[in-house]
Homo-oligomer: A and B are copies of this chain.
Amino acid sequence: MERRPVSGSRNERLNEKPAPKAVVGRVSLYLRQLEALQLEGLNKVSSRQLGEPFGIKNAQVRKDLAFFGQFGHPGVGYNIDDLISVLRRILGVDKDWPLALVGLGNLGRALLRYRGFRSRRFRIVALFDNDPRKIGQFYEGMCVEPIDALPQSLSRHKAILALLCVPADSAQKVADQMVAGGIQGILNFAPVPLAVPQHVNVVAVDLSIQLENLAYKVQKTQDEISRAS
């Protein structure tokens, strides 16, 4: 794998292969913890402190960060300010990401008010729905446009990412319209896989898979308890 230094940071390395989803997810958590510690006025942090609130071991923290470069100093720890700015850049959250929200059912309306998006630099800039009672109405200061306007309207709003919250049976059609409008990434809440061109990225949020994962873990714990007794 080719690695080359990045301007602005001697110790960061550009890993051309994307990091696995699990690593990126954990690094997002470390970034939150760093920001919380920065708010408390701290300067330095150990890998143990970074992982502790999430139950992640310090060896894992070091391994995850090593995917992106060499940041810490043995026995001293990480400089909080430096690590925050490097991780924000690596994760791409050092810039604004304008989002389109498509589908204003219960889930879509919940996402519209989800504080977690706003506290990062994800900003919903356009709303789309096919319900005639919703089109033309204002939510959080934005006017709802019809879904068929997606191909024309997305570039006007400069939306790069989209939240797909429509029912499963119309998800692929809406995804096609998003792609036609120049969307580069889709967070898919519909419980169906989407077919998109290679340059478009999809992250699927399948809530029943998360629930199955929980059921699996609970069953494993029940097995352990019954074996121990």
Which residues of A pack against B, CB within 8 Å?
16, 18-19, 21-22, 24-25, 28-29, 53-55, 90-93, 97, 105-107, 109-111, 113-117, 119-120, 122, 160-161, 168, 184-187, 191, 193, 199, 201-203, 205-222, 224-225
Contact = CB atoms under 8 A, between A and B. Distances in A.
Contacts of A160: 218
Given A212-B24, A213-B25, A218 B92 contact: yes
Contact of A208 (B90, B119, B213): B119
A168 B114 CA distance: 11
A109 B203 CA distance: 23
Contacts of A218: 92, 160-161, 184-185, 201
A192 B212 CA distance: 21
Each complex incorporates copies of this chain amounting to: 2
Contact of A201 (B19, B114, B117, B221): B221
A54 B191 CA distance: 12
A220 B18 contact: yes
A24 B210 CA distance: 9
A126 to B, nearest CB: 16
Given A105-B110, A106-B113, A93 B210 contact: no
